[in-house]
A and B are shown apart, each in its own frame.
Chain A
Amino acid sequence: GQNIDQPTEMTATEGAIVQINCTYQTSGFNGLFWYQQHAGEAPTFLSYNVLDGLEEKGRFSSFLSRSKGYSYLLLKELQMKDSASYLCAVSGYSTLTFGKGTMLLVSP
């Protein structure tokens, strides 16, 4: 089975940097995803990691350590519009299993 843990809530200030952690235990691993979901909207794809290391995409970066079952999403230069839920999801043999999401609140 799959077990994915991430913090329930985080708060940060506009312009700051925040790191959202995700730990996982899976019976199969084909990659780790981060999705962003604004309230009342569908999840949208942010990043995908299949090899160890850091993937950078603009203000967002994602890191993976397969040996530690650990990933993080790094958000730089936070903006108010970054207030959303961030979902960590692990791809197993055939399905994508989501964590419960981390609600990030960015304040002025």
Chain B
Amino acid sequence: EAGVVQSPRYKIIEKKQPVAFWCNPISGHNTLYWYLQNLGQGPELLIRYENEEAVDDSQLPKDRFSAERLKGVDSTLKIQPAELGDSAVYLCASSHDRGSYEQYFGPGTRLTVT
């Protein structure tokens, strides 16, 4: 069984540029999560999807961040414009459903904003 797939693995951009990250969850997993992880910190939830519906986006900085999961499968997270403080690892995770006790994480996208 394939795991959670994310691309790109690494991205370097200049500040004020846009950037997008892609995630394909494990087949059959209805719940998809985007996390942000700074160095030496634990992952922090940005947004959670149940199928195609964003059910928790309270921590998503909506002035510059957006996300979509149009068909309830893969998802895209976008930042426009990027700021220096956005440099971090962006992790995608999925679980079978909201009640599932285990989340499976992708390898993450390491973003560097210069």
Chain A residues near B (Cβ < 8 Å): 4, 31, 33, 41-45, 48, 50, 87, 89, 91, 94-101, 103
CA distance A97 to B42 in the complex (A): 9
CB distance from A91 to the nearest CB of B (A): 7
Chain B residues near A (Cβ < 8 Å): 4, 33, 40-45, 48, 55-56, 91, 98, 101-108
CB distance from B89 to the nearest CB of A (A): 9
Is A42 touching B101 in the complex (CB atoms < 8 A)?
Answer: no
Known A-B contacts A95-B45, A98-B44; the reply to A42 vs B105 at CB < 8 A is yes
Task: Name the one of B4, B48, B91, B106 contacting A94, with C-beta atoms under 8 angstroms.
Answer: B48
Is B101 touching A33 in the complex (CB atoms < 8 A)?
Answer: yes
Contacts of B33 in A (CB 8 A): 96
CB distance from B4 to the nearest CB of A (A): 8
CA distance A94 to B55 in the complex (A): 9
CB distance from B56 to the nearest CB of A (A): 6
Name A88's closest neighbour in chain B (CB-CB).
B42
